[in-house]
Structure 1
Amino acid sequence: MIEATSCGGVVIFRGKILLLYKNYKNKYEGWVLPKGTVEEGEEYKETAIREVREETGAVASIIKYIGKSQYTFNTPQNTVLKDVHWYLMMSDSYYSKPQREEYFMDSGYYKFHEAYHMLKFSNEKQILERAYNEYVDLKKSNLWGNKKYF
């Protein structure tokens, strides 16, 4: 078994969540949250910001750490145990451009209930729920988008 670590973000702008649609060789892969592998010497926060920008083109800042999800998948050579560290992030606009090299064919911002039902993986649905609840709490407290909060 190989262990791997990724970081990603639940990116929100004006109450909507940024999702990516993956389609590899015309095979439906599903809607996902942006995430990617930690590079050597990189902090988790840096990975999350970089991966969001690379995969979606969105410029986003971290609001707070949301938690970790874990899953396994098989490659022809091995089983991979992957930890993903997630951050609640705020974007500066609705702009997004899917990274074609990673087989992302579409991206966009969706209302919570739409995003929840579009997401392919249950662990990402749980992270989305947690992040969105944090967002709602911050919004109620007038802390969302308040630079003092950072």
Structure 2
Amino acid sequence: MIEAISCGGVVIFRGKILLLYKNIKNKYEGWVLPKGTVEPGETHEETALREVLEESGSRAFIVDYVGRSEYSFTVPEDVVAKEVHWYLMSTDSYYSKPQREEYFADSGFYKYHEAYHLLKFANEKQILEKAYAEYQERKRNNQWMN
């Protein structure tokens, strides 16, 4: 078994959530949250910020740690057990530009109910629920910047 650690973000601007649409030669299609693999010497926070910037072009900043998700998938030579650490993030604009090299065909900010239904994976929907609840709580308490 191969163990892998990734980090990502639920980026919220003016109540809308950043999503990416991945399309790998029509074999894999779906909306996802930005995330990626931890590189040697990087903290989880640094990875999450770098991956959001690389995959979406959004210059986000971390508000809080949301939690982690775990899942596994099969590759030709083995099974990969993946752990993903998620952060609630904010940014200062709706700007996004999908990273073509990673097969992202589209990106954008969506209202919560749209984002929830667009997301392909159940574990990302759970993270979105948790992150959005924290966003709403911070907004109610005037602890959200935009």
Alpha-carbon displacement from aligned partner over 1:55-110 (angstroms, at most 9, x marks no partner): 00000000000000000001101100000000000011000000000000000000
Structure 2: which 5+ runs fail to align?
A: none
Corresponding position of 1:52: 52
Map of 1:38 onto structure 2: 38
Paired-residue identity, %: 72
2:71 — aligned with what? 71
* TM-score normalised by L of structure 2: 0.98
Deviation at 1:28, TM superposition (A): 4.5
Q: What's the secondary structure of 1:26's corresponding residue? A: coil
Q: Tell me the distance in 1 between the aligned counterparts of 2:78 and 2:42.
A: 25
Residue type at the aligned position of 1:109: F
Aligned counterparts of 1:28 and 1:5: Cα–Cα separation in 2: 21
| Aligned: 1:141 with 2:141 | yes
Flag as ranges the 4+ runs of structure 1 deviating above 2 A. Answer: none
In the alignment, is residue 126 of structure 1 matched against residue 126 of structure 2?
Answer: yes
Equivalences, count = 146
Segments of structure 1 that go 5 or more residues without pairing to the other structure are: none
Aligned Cα RMSD in Å?
Answer: 0.9
User: Aligned partners of 1:46, 1:145: CA distance in 2, in Å?
Assistant: 21
